[in-house]
A and B are shown apart, each in its own frame.
Chain A
Amino acid sequence: DTAVSQTPKYLVTQMGNDKSIKCEQNLGHDTMYWYKQDSKKFLKIMFSYNNKELIINETVPNRFSPKSPDKAHLNLHINSLELGDSAVYFCASSQDRGGVGTQYFGPGTRLLVL
């Protein structure tokens, strides 16, 4: 079974559209994350959720809105897509008991905005 899964794997869309990316983890972890990897391969944290509550919201445009219906899911909704949103988006999760939060990543969603 895949520990952290994301759908879709590829997403091609037009500028101005609204799209969602879904993430699910079956590890029973408390915290989930969204990262963005741009064309220069820099990987940056966007959001962190713990038990369905937002912990971290880095400097991300408010067009990006994470939603966590339950502890196992963290979805990313993007409004009014722009060319600069083209990137690979990775979901991750971690179990944070005991002070160590090793993160496990999904396979990524490759978003291309035309």
Chain B
Amino acid sequence: DAKTTQPPSMDCAEGRAANLPCNHSTISGNEYVYWYRQIHSQGPQYIIHGLKNNETNEMASLIITEDRKSSTLILPHATLRDTAVYYCIGHRGSRSGGGADGLTFGKGTHLIIQP
């Protein structure tokens, strides 16, 4: 998996958009950018992933720069329940022979939503 760099912590006011940056300058062409989060005492939760194009789902939007060296996860209207550690991971997904590699989790960004 590609090495990623994220700020250790961020604050955001409730109801505002939370923008979480990630640098992944060494990402390979076949590696996706994945975002997961871990709410206190729970298992990691998948949020979104993308390869080249920007992506949006019911949880978040993912903006990937054209050179793929960085990305931003956007939570459009943050709530208190979005307080969690957010992980940006470069990952190739499945192997050609079947199965997949494990995810390489870094330290992530601890996002704190303030009331």
Contact = CB atoms under 8 A, between A and B. Distances in A.
Interface stretch (A14-22, A72-80, A91-99): A91-99
Given A90-B43, A106-B43, A108-B42, A99 B102 contact: no
Contacts, number: 77
A55 to B, nearest CB: 4
Contact of B103 (A4, A41, A103, A106): A103
Question: What is the size category of the interface that chain B forms with chain A?
Answer: 20 to 34
Question: What is the size category of the interface that chain A forms with chain B?
Answer: 35 or more
Given A97-B94, A101-B93, A105-B43, A45 B49 contact: no
B104 interface: yes
Given A48-B99, A101-B91, A105-B45, 4 more contacts: A50-B100, A100-B32, A103-B46, A107-B43
